[in-house]
Amino acid sequence: MMNKKFIDYYRNLDNKMIGFDLSNKCCFKCVYCSFQNKLNKDRENDFLNLDLFKKIINEQIENKIKYRVIFLAVGGESLMHPYFNEIISFLFKNNEGERLFDIISLNTNVAFLSPESTDTIHNLILNYPGKFMITLSINAYSSRAFKLVKGQDLLKITNENTKYLLRDKKNKNVTDEIVLLQYLVHELSKEESKKFLDFWESFLQDEGINYIVEYELPFKKESDVAIIFKRVYWDNQEKYDKMHQDVVKELGLLPLEEKKKDLEKFSPRFHSVKREPCASLWLSPIVRVDGILSPCLQDDRDLQMLGNLKNDSFFDLWFSESAHNLRKKHIAGDFENISICKDCDFFIGPKISKEDISGYLRIFDEINGEDDE
């Protein structure tokens, strides 16, 4: 049985992020999207149940748990969730004194980001505490490339919705919103990178909106609007890394070399040093569309699922025997015997400190000590 000491421990961990896979459905079938092409197919639900979502959030509030980030998109298109507005309202309205989150982060393909949805989101940001980061996965400049990459051509509505959001943000002065205009560098669209950049730069300049151009997270937050050229993660990763670096150079952005130091904190891909336990297992629970709790964003096949939140409480699962076993394997450096971790070379997120690991292990000693008395 889970011990209450773990909840106190969890409350005191900094930089926690919780992810919700709100939707398994999407109007597109992007060529680079592992979720819509190879994974998630056998899941029972299309959308995360609203009551279950509220139950999980209420459990966090009751236990005074605060997250640095709540992210609302993992696999499908969250804006297709029939209760998306209710979900986002529920979060903002429960964030008095910023007790629940610092930032809500949403990735969207923009096709369903209607002016009404934008109005709802902006009104919430303006009236309640908390920041909002929205990544608009536009990923193409021409209708031709849009269709090739995403499977159907909805470029016009995508661009219209994007422009509406940017103008509304400026007009209403929604400074607590960070907007990323994303372009994924893929072989079917990479030739258009410069045109994409020119198109959005000229729109932003005409509208008098400040922005920066970036090519990889993390980026310096000098502006709350950024055009970002992102790497594709896929089989044959070296090919995509090189493609991305070529585009970054062509666009005159900083060479990736100079960013390695920053990235080392974030991605083991760049690590030459000994592999450390993955912070995700402590800091980043992921709730899948069917209620499964997973310790890792990358584990879309549920190889390390901790159980289903329909049946158990969040804390019973997050501090269950199987969760502890997984963490202890990481602490022991035994990555080889965990199928999802063995070949993982990608993790975006903060690190777990040595002190936090010692604190975690200390609880087991305390519990064992209590048992001996």
Ligand X SMILES: C[S@@+](CC[C@H](N)C(=O)[O-])C[C@H]1O[C@@H](n2cnc3c(N)ncnc32)[C@H](O)[C@@H]1O
Polymer length in residues for the chain: 373
- Site size toward ligand SF4, by CB under 6 A: 12
- Is residue 17 within the footprint of ligand X (CB under 6 A)? no
Tokens 């149940």 sit at which residue? 49
- Is residue 35 within the footprint of ligand SF4 (CB under 6 A)? yes
Beta carbon of residue 226, minimum distance to ligand X (angstroms, whole number): 13
- Is residue 158 within the footprint of ligand SF4 (CB under 6 A)? no
**β-bridge mates for residue 108, sequence order:** 136
Spatial distance between the Cα atoms of 112 and 122, rounded to a whole number of angstroms: 16
**β-bridge mates for residue 307, sequence order:** 293
- Is residue 33 within the footprint of ligand SF4 (CB under 6 A)? yes
Q: Binding marks (x or -) toward ligand SF4, 3..32, rule CB under 6 A?
A: -----------------------x-xxx--
Alpha carbons within 13 angstroms on the beta-carbon side of residue 86 total 11
- Is residue 19 within the footprint of ligand X (CB under 6 A)? no
> Which one of ligand X, ligand SF4, none is in contact with 233 (Cβ closer than 5 to 8 A by kind)?
ligand X
Closest to 229 measured CA to CA, from 208, 210, 246, 204 = 246
> Which one of ligand X, ligand SF4, none is in contact with 319 (Cβ closer than 5 to 8 A by kind)?
none
Beta carbon of residue 23, minimum distance to ligand SF4 (angstroms, whole number): 8
Closest to 77 measured CA to CA, from 40, 22, 17 = 22
Is 21 or 356 the residue whose CB approaches ligand X more closely? 21
- Site size toward ligand X, by CB under 6 A: 19
Choose, by CB under 6 A, the member of 60, 109, 118, 189 that binds ligand SF4. 109
Tokens matching residue 43: 């899941």
Beta carbon of residue 33, minimum distance to ligand SF4 (angstroms, whole number): 3
Q: Binding marks (x or -) toward ligand X, 71..110, rule CB under 6 A?
A: --x-x-x-----------------------------xxx-
Spatial distance between the Cα atoms of 26 and 259, rounded to a whole number of angstroms: 33
Spatial distance between the Cα atoms of 194 and 234, rounded to a whole number of angstroms: 23
- Is residue 138 within the footprint of ligand SF4 (CB under 6 A)? no
Q: List phi, psi (to 5°) of 36.
A: -85, -10
Is 75 or 295 the residue whose CB approaches ligand X more closely? 75
Give the interface with ligand SF4 as residue ranges (CB under 6 A).
26, 28-30, 33, 35-36, 76-77, 109, 137, 150
Give the interface with ligand X as residue ranges (CB under 6 A).
26, 32-35, 73, 75, 77, 107-109, 135, 137, 139, 182, 184, 232-234
